[in-house]
A and B are shown apart, each in its own frame.
Chain A
Amino acid sequence: MFNKMVSYKYPRNLLMLFELLALFLLFIYSKDNLNKFTFIYGIGLILIVYVSNFLLLRISTGDTYIFLIVTMLISIGLIMIYRIDPLLGIKQILWIGMGIFIFFLTYLVFKNIKGWEEWTYFYGIGSIILFIITLLFGSRIRGAINWISIGGLSIQPSEIIKLLTIFLIASYYTRYEHFKKQKYGSYYLIATTYLFILFLFLQRDLGTVLILYTLFIALQFIYEENRRLILYNLLFSIVSGFLGYLLFPHVRIRFETWLNPWKYIDNKGYQITQSLFAIAEGGFFGTGLGLGHPDFIPEVHTDFIFSAICEEMGIFTGMGIIMLFLILVYRGFKIGINQKIKFYRIVAIGISILFGIQSFIIFGGVLKMIPLTGITIPFVSYGGSSMLSSFIALGILQVASEELDFEEAKDG
């Protein structure tokens, strides 16, 4: 047993080694406000991660690497968040613990309950209700209305809506024949999607607009039989993007600060330039944990966590994170291709696209490769809503990675 524990052949042992080393560095860094709770939390987290990786091997017959990749991502993210603000770090540990619990719960629920593909209308109407609630009760944070608070707890409904959209599209294309028989049936999905995008525009949540739209176009590209519809959609998106630029000042600002943030360095371009300073300062190997100044970047623990990681751990770690996402997306697609049940196949690919596109948008944004839209990196950024919804998605992906024995619903 002990030999097995220290063997490098098991990735979970390497992961534990990484976590222990990072924890050690963190303790040196923050030894002034170190207390025994931090210590307990830290050790607790390592144990949870180790045990859940171990447990998953026992209960799931599917892909065990996706969870491993994700635990690596949350470890790097957590180290950085703790380094920026120990209090947020402790909270993040709680979110992670909860997220892992939700992951197993989701896994069990989806493994044992059938018929998810039948609920097409529920997904659509549920999303619309969430949108309306957000618009009515939401509070505007950093320009976008995407938070609602319930009893002191802030949640971001758009995190749930992203998953509901994947389910909606998956169930629509699973029951494609059924919908095609109805009059205008082939336009139901497009109409709903554009309704969602309209809502998001009203909320000024441009990041989510981009994610949902890419998700929709990509899945449509794979499953839509009327190929001309895809072309129309693409054309429409170009036109509406242009109109959005002309009509909405907040869209214009994003573009202007992307083209030349240095011109607006002391106002609109402040965030992005601070992010570039951090990345530039880090170089290939970083300044070392605790030795940089990522705290100069506003919102560093959520949207700009990647810049902080690049500053203190170097762009090699940054590339490491990008590659972890690449492997995660690749395995997600592989899961999809191997899945025999259509609904789960679409869901798996949808979730993989979601992880991929969401991380790409924010990586590219903080690097100034594409215009910046404030969204979180799944599993890495600080935040409960994002952490929980990402773990739900991962749990579903885990189920999809297994050979499922229940019958596929008949089309129609």
Chain B
Amino acid sequence: MDKEIKRIITVLTAICILFVSLMAYLTYFQIFKAESVKMNSYNKRLWINEEKILRGSIIDRNGKILAYSEKVDDTYKRFYNYGNLYSHIIGYSYREYGKAGLELEYNNTLLNISESTALNELKNIVLPNTEGNTLKLTIDHHLQEYSRNLLKGHKGSIVAMNPTTGEIYAMVSLPDFNPTNLKEDWKNIVEDENSPLLNRATSGLYTPGSTFKVLTAIAAIEKKDLDREYECTGSANIDGYILKDYDGKPHGKLNLEEALVKSCNTYFGEKGVIIGKDALGEVAERFLVNKKIDFDLPVSKSSFPYKDNLGETDIAAASIGQGKLLMTPLNMALIASGIANKGDIVKPILVKEVISPEGKVLRNNQPQILTKAVDIFTANEVKNMMVESVKRGTSRNASIKNVRVAGKTGTAENPSGKSHAWFIGFAPAEEPKIALAVVLEEEGSTGGKAAAPIARNIIIEALNTIK
């Protein structure tokens, strides 16, 4: 071949290689890089809706405005009326720090944007929407504020809800942060070792301590052939491990009710071993342990790895709420509400209604039974034991004049060395209107001393104010 032609073909080949490499790079970019590039906060496409649409307000169950947007100098600005109070429920929405809480989970609803399909986009061009939907929460602003004030100075969480409808009245998690000052505080918030960004109510995993005995009691009732009598000497030897009662005091002769009222560790430890890990684990799973809880905010799974190879010591520990158990406060509140609601656990709801800019109710979250955890007879039996616990047992500090309160305390040992103080319960026992879980993290005190009085005040306030 002619030298000239050969050289021409070399040049052509070089150009072809350049073009093919362009296509290869384009494909590489699209497959491996595009996703992360798109999420950069400088990508205005992420914010185009925010800039054009007035983000919907968030109001409490009585219509009190908790968060709203307003036009300031041609851009919409988000206002959070109550600072820290709703940091974990409403969350925040910022260009720089992203979104959290309901602002994240209900972003599309708040902006009134539907799935991005070509058809919807075309509809949007024809009829652009300029205003988002309002979220009406189940939260009672007064109770929320009241609960937070009671928890102030502690770490921990409070979840208060209606056991028959599943409506969350108050959900507090401390420490928290102020979404209004996020820009100024961001560095401190992120570096704070107490993790103020964590919503302890839904994602905090705590050893439940004696509050878990409620479930052990249910497992005991369900085991028909179990001998419910027991002689407590203050300590018990389980497979070489000495299980002790609080302060090592013997409780003497006990039946199941007395054991729960006095929160007897040796009783539940020994009976738990007889009941067995599978029966106990199965009861726990009916109360949503190890299960994903469907909620308006992301919820961590409570865990009881009973399928693992557990020795008798481990089973005894789990029976009294120690050992390998980890529970979220929301889950504990649901356990209380399940017992209150004749054994049926209702789905917890935070967003009661979605209201369109024209005032039309677009979605109304109706009560929904998540699971039938126990039959009504078992539920009633445990309920009566919990009433007795408040009347004359470890939960005395939660008792209220003229109201029958059911409850169970817990003092959970944990690696920090300072125990968590727990209380779960509901009231009034005959027709429950409120169920709650209170946990004070690393409080170093007992559930009866520290958590029960807080629960008591919340119950009084709720029964007096919530219609």
Q: How many A-B Cβ pairs are below 8 Å? A: 111
B1-37 CB contacts (< 8 Å) to partner A = 4-5, 7-12, 14-16, 18-19, 21-23, 25-27, 29-30, 33-35, 37
Number of residues on chain B facing chain A (CB within 8 A) = 36
Q: Check: A290 CB closer than 8 A to any chain B CB.
A: yes
Beta-carbon contact of A369 and B25 below 8 Å: yes
Distance (whole angstroms) from the CB of A331 to the closest CB of chain B: 11
Closest A residue by C-beta to B21: A369
For the complex, what is the distance from the CA of A326 to the CA of B23, rounded to whole Å?
A: 11
Given A218-B11, A336-B8, A364–B22 Cβ distance below 8 Å? yes
For the complex, what is the distance from the CA of A276 to the CA of B21, rounded to whole Å?
A: 17
Residues of A within 8 A of B25 (CB): 364, 367, 369
Interface of B is mostly: helix
Q: Check: B43 CB closer than 8 A to any chain A CB.
A: yes
B271-311 CB contacts (< 8 Å) to partner A = none
Given A329-B12, A353-B11, A360–B19 Cβ distance below 8 Å? yes
Beta-carbon contact of B22 and A363 below 8 Å: yes
Closest B residue by C-beta to A270: B42
Closest B residue by C-beta to A32: B125
Closest B residue by C-beta to A357: B15
Distance (whole angstroms) from the CB of A312 to the closest CB of chain B: 11
Beta-carbon contact of B118 and A288 below 8 Å: yes
Q: Check: B362 CB closer than 8 A to any chain A CB.
A: no
- The one of A293, A333, A367 in contact with B48, judged by C-beta atoms closer than 8 angstroms, is A293
Residues of B within 8 A of A218 (CB): 11, 14
For the complex, what is the distance from the CA of A265 to the CA of B9, rounded to whole Å?
A: 41
Interface of A is mostly: helix
For the complex, what is the distance from the CA of A290 to the CA of B123, rounded to whole Å?
A: 12
Given A223-B4, A283-B30, A273–B42 Cβ distance below 8 Å? yes
Number of residues on chain A facing chain B (CB within 8 A) = 46
Question: Which one of A234-242, A317-325, A374-382 is at the B interface?
Answer: A317-325
Residues of B within 8 A of A223 (CB): 4
For the complex, what is the distance from the CA of A297 to the CA of B212, rounded to whole Å?
A: 59
Closest B residue by C-beta to A311: B45
Beta-carbon contact of B22 and A322 below 8 Å: yes
Q: Check: A191 CB closer than 8 A to any chain B CB.
A: no
Beta-carbon contact of B26 and A349 below 8 Å: no
Distance (whole angstroms) from the CB of A21 to the closest CB of chain B: 15
Beta-carbon contact of A326 and B16 below 8 Å: yes
Q: Check: B185 CB closer than 8 A to any chain A CB.
A: no
Closest B residue by C-beta to A29: B125
Beta-carbon contact of A296 and B8 below 8 Å: no
Beta-carbon contact of B40 and A349 below 8 Å: no
For the complex, what is the distance from the CA of A322 to the CA of B20, rounded to whole Å?
A: 9
Beta-carbon contact of A337 and B15 below 8 Å: no
- The one of A284, A291, A319 in contact with B23, judged by C-beta atoms closer than 8 angstroms, is A319
Beta-carbon contact of B34 and A280 below 8 Å: yes
Q: Check: A277 CB closer than 8 A to any chain B CB.
A: yes
For the complex, what is the distance from the CA of A310 to the CA of B11, rounded to whole Å?
A: 28
Distance (whole angstroms) from the CB of A367 to the closest CB of chain B: 6
Beta-carbon contact of A367 and B26 below 8 Å: yes
Residues of B within 8 A of A221 (CB): 7, 10-11
For the complex, what is the distance from the CA of A367 to the CA of B118, rounded to whole Å?
A: 26
Beta-carbon contact of A349 and B8 below 8 Å: yes
Beta-carbon contact of B18 and A360 below 8 Å: yes
Beta-carbon contact of B26 and A318 below 8 Å: yes
Given A293-B45, A360-B19, A367-B26, A277–B11 Cβ distance below 8 Å? no
Given A283-B30, A283-B34, A277–B40 Cβ distance below 8 Å? yes
- The one of A281, A310, A318, A325 in contact with B38, judged by C-beta atoms closer than 8 angstroms, is A281
Q: Check: B231 CB closer than 8 A to any chain A CB.
A: no
Beta-carbon contact of A222 and B4 below 8 Å: yes
- The one of A279, A283, A333, A367 in contact with B22, judged by C-beta atoms closer than 8 angstroms, is A367
For the complex, what is the distance from the CA of A369 to the CA of B29, rounded to whole Å?
A: 10
For the complex, what is the distance from the CA of A363 to the CA of B43, rounded to whole Å?
A: 21
Given A265-B42, A283-B34, A360-B18, A222–B26 Cβ distance below 8 Å? no
Beta-carbon contact of A293 and B44 below 8 Å: yes
Q: Check: B121 CB closer than 8 A to any chain A CB.
A: yes
Residues of B within 8 A of A281 (CB): 34, 38, 43, 45
Residues of A within 8 A of B16 (CB): 326, 329-330
Beta-carbon contact of A273 and B40 below 8 Å: yes
Residues of B within 8 A of A280 (CB): 29-30, 33-35, 37-38
Give per-residue flags for A327-371: 1 if the beta carbon is below 8 A from chain B beta carbons, else 0: 001100100110000000000010001001100100110010100
Listed from nearest, the 8 A-B pairs whose CB atoms lie closest are: A280-B34, A280-B37, A222-B7, A277-B43, A356-B15, A333-B12, A280-B38, A326-B19
10 A-B pairs whose Cβ atoms sit less than 8 Å apart in the complex: A273-B40, A280-B35, A322-B26, A329-B12, A333-B11, A333-B12, A360-B19, A364-B18, A367-B22, A367-B26
B: residues with CB less than 8 A from A are: 4-5, 7-12, 14-16, 18-19, 21-23, 25-27, 29-30, 33-35, 37-38, 40, 42-45, 48, 118, 121-122, 125
A: residues with CB less than 8 A from B are: 28-29, 218, 221-223, 262, 265-266, 273, 276-277, 279-281, 283-284, 287-288, 290-293, 296, 310, 315, 318-319, 322-323, 325-326, 329-330, 333, 336-337, 349, 353, 356-357, 360, 363-364, 367, 369
Known contacts A315-B30, A329-B16, A333-B12, then 17 further A-B pairs from the complex at CB < 8 Å, ordered by chain A residue:
A221-B10, A276-B29, A277-B40, A277-B44, A280-B29, A281-B45, A290-B125, A291-B122, A296-B45, A315-B27, A323-B23, A326-B16, A329-B19, A330-B12, A356-B19, A360-B15, A364-B25
